[in-house]
Amino acid sequence: MKEKTIPLATIVMLVSLSIPIAMAQPMPPCWFYGTVSVEGSPAQDNLNVTAGIRGTNLTWTTKTKNGTYGWREMGSDRFYVDHDNLTTPIKDGGVNGDIVEFYINGVKTNQTATFESLDQKRVDLAVRSGDTTPPVIIHEPVVNGTEGQRIIVEAIIRDNVTVTEATLHYRKIADLTYSTVPMVLCVGYTDVYNGVIPASVVTTTGVEYYISATDGTNVATHPATNPESSPHAIVMIEANQPPTAVLLSEPSEIGENSMKLEWSTSPDEDFARYEVYKSTSPENYGTLIHNITNKQITNFTVTELFPGTTYFFRIRVVDTGNLYTWSNQVHANTTATSTFLWTWLTAIVVSVILVAAASFTLGKKTKRVSKK
């Protein structure tokens, strides 16, 4: 049987085509993991661990967890440094032999490693930062809250290295223990944090709270001294209640096209306005016909009414919180169109006619007597 051979030119072509394809495939990264200690103790959670390639600005960052980084079995996320993309002229990753340096919260460690694609390297990190400066907390205490509504606590928190954690501690007044919620960085800001005291805690008893922040080594609080025993106190104010109803009197000074309304004065401090409503049916509140913003003005004359018609009225009191309360309903009939003037004119006309008729008859009789 005759063997088939592949021409050399074909082999060269296939090899030349396969090289770009192989180079286009992403090269495996180098994985790193290990323990992290700060000042000789296991690092707290959420410190930044950064790996950078020496001589470049290329960095990769992960967070500490349970005193480790990149150690999935210990609870921290896997961590790696990307391989450089060899098909582009710009360096965007490591290549075998590159030196990788490590930082904890921006502080350089003494540990380094050599980049090797597809390798997993344990590099235990330690740092003695020498940082003795705690974060600075700038905060305007919250002094009032509304019963049943959550309270947002905001603060500016800064540090010479980095703020690793901010916490809001709160409790009902007279409770022995505090609850905590993390204070998160506000969107669009680099140093403004806020935390929320839930509505379930905001009762007439009042609320106490304080803020703590750390840079991973040092801790600051607000108030700065004895925050647990001398916290900020929030006094509760009652939730806004609807206004007091006014008493609307029966209409007076009733005419064919108008009548006067009068009512009692609102006793509320948060008064906003009186609203006068008119209707021709007792089943509905009708339409708004007038606003009065002066609390002392408690009367209004309704005009442009139709004669002989029944009208119904209510006063609605509105407060500054836009809550409102209705008064009692009153009604009255406008007077019918008067017929007295026409009756009087008719009597005069009839009288004139009768007088004229009588005069005419008398004149006839007089003429007859004269002829005789």
Kindly report, residue by residue over 152-197, the tens digit of the pLDDT. 999 999 998 889 999 999 999 999 999 999 999 999 999 999 999 9
Exposed, middle or buried: residue 333 (CB in 10 Å: 0-12, 13-18, 19+)? middle
In this model, does residue 212 exceed pLDDT 90?
yes
Q: For 179, which DSSP code?
A: E
In this model, does residue 199 exceed pLDDT 60?
yes
Q: How confident is the model at residue 1 (pLDDT cuts 50, 70, 90)?
A: very low
* pLDDT for 280: 94
In this model, does residue 129 exceed pLDDT 70?
no
Question: 252-277 burial, b for 16+ CB within 10 Å, e for fewer?
Answer: eeeeeeebebbbeebebeebbbbbbb
* pLDDT for 25: 74
The first and second tokens of residue 38, run together, are: 């700060």
SS3 349: helix
Tens-place pLDDT, residues 32-87: 999 999 878 898 888 889 999 998 889 999 999 999 999 988 888 899 999 999 99
* pLDDT for 76: 85
Q: Alpha carbon of 159 to those of 164, 165, 366: distances in Å?
A: 9, 11, 130
In this model, does residue 292 exceed pLDDT 60?
yes
Q: How many CB atoms lie within 10 A of CB 105?
A: 23
Q: Averaged over 310-333, what is the pLDDT?
A: 94
In contact, 113 and 125? CB cutoff 8 Å: no
The helix (H) or strand (E) run that includes residue 353 is helix 340-371
pTM, 2 dp: 0.41
Q: Kindly report the average pLDDT of the chain as a whole number.
A: 87
In this model, does residue 245 exceed pLDDT 80?
yes
SS3 103: strand
> For residue 292, which phi and psi values (nearest 5 degrees)?
-130, 120
The first and second tokens of residue 216, run together, are: 């991973």
Tens-place pLDDT, residues 248-270: 999 999 999 999 999 999 998 88
User: Which of 79, 82, 104, 106 lies closest to 93 in space, CA to CA?
Assistant: 82
Distance CA 228, CA 344 (A): 93
Distance of CA 288 to the CA centre of its chain: 32
* pLDDT for 344: 60
Q: Alpha carbon of 249 to those of 252, 278, 310, 371: distances in Å?
A: 9, 14, 16, 78
Domains of the chain: 8-127 (2.60.40), 136-237 (2.60.40.10), 259-333 (2.60.40.10)
